[in-house]
Amino acid sequence: MAKNSIIVEKNVVHSERVCCDGGPCYGHPKIYLEIGANRQTKCPYCGRVFVYAPKSASGNKIKN
């Protein structure tokens, strides 16, 4: 059996800052992750990968 049989879940996000708490399967303390220069980041706790994708190229307004 292969050791790396875990399917890495990729989450597309529209913000350069995401929070992860592991979800129902891998619950862990809630942390915030910054999207890196390669437009993605990985949660050190549960291994989830977050891929940054801008919502739209036109008329994009940032709301906080």
The answer to whether 18 contacts Zn ion (rule: CB under 5 A) is no
Choice from 18, 41, 43, 50 touching Zn ion (CB under 5 A): 43
Strand partners, 12: 51
Give the nearer residue to Zn ion in terms of CB position, either 34 or 60: 34
Stretch touching Zn ion by CB under 5 A, among 6-14, 15-23, 32-40, 52-60? 15-23
Q: Which parts of this chain interact with Zn ion (CB under 5 A)?
A: 20, 22, 43, 45-46, 48
